[in-house]
Structure 1
């Protein structure tokens, strides 16, 4: 009788140990899945922050371009072509000189601060200055306008 009780107790003990082992394995698998999900969540949050920073940088670059003298020159271009409202008497030669001066200034502003010969194409982060061409941008360790250390750059394509 004692042997029968011992064998049943032993069988029940093995079943409970197996159940405990399976529960431990399931717990370990769930904990691993939780770690993977948390890592994936952090990666997505990082991507979202980077996208937000890029959107802000592009918005700032667009604002800089829109507020630059180049844009002002193109808005003023119409005022040179219409002549004076008084019905003549404007100096066409003076207007042409003024228009040429605006074009020179606009072209100078759109030139690379590194080499001075190429158009601006690289936006520096975090300062968000649009200040170099795509050849000089990767070579410079800091923004040539404000001298802040470059963390990243974005290539911008302007018309």
Structure 2
């Protein structure tokens, strides 16, 4: 089911090819056994777990994608921007980067938006007489306020953003727009 860009995206959407959803959390609390059964089926269905075993790598990957989707949604990225950024973001080795997932997600979003000319036709991005891009070394009044607010709300420091953007820049330039 495609998302309407005019409405907020659902927080959770299937990240696997199996589209069957078990909404066990909607069962009444007093039906504990049914909730437990459908929770188990949901874990089997998504590949997250089987009995006492759980796929920690898949759980981590899904959690990282949900964090990315939340940040991209706050930055009001359009569908094309999200698709390109999510593709690159999901291919990154976070252990090798050694930084917070939120920082990496934010920097990938910044790079995609700053290199997308369509940003200048977006009415959400218009500020006074022109449009602004984001860069951590610029003054806040010269930056896109949406990016400044999101960076502050998730607790990112400008030095960390600059460092991560420099680290990802060459890789993003080479692979992002292929």
The two structures have a TM-score, normalised by structure 2, of 0.23
Computing the radius of gyration over CA atoms, which structure comes out larger, 1 or 2? Answer: 1
Q: Select the structure with the greater relative contact order (CA < 8 A; seq sep ≥ 6).
A: 2
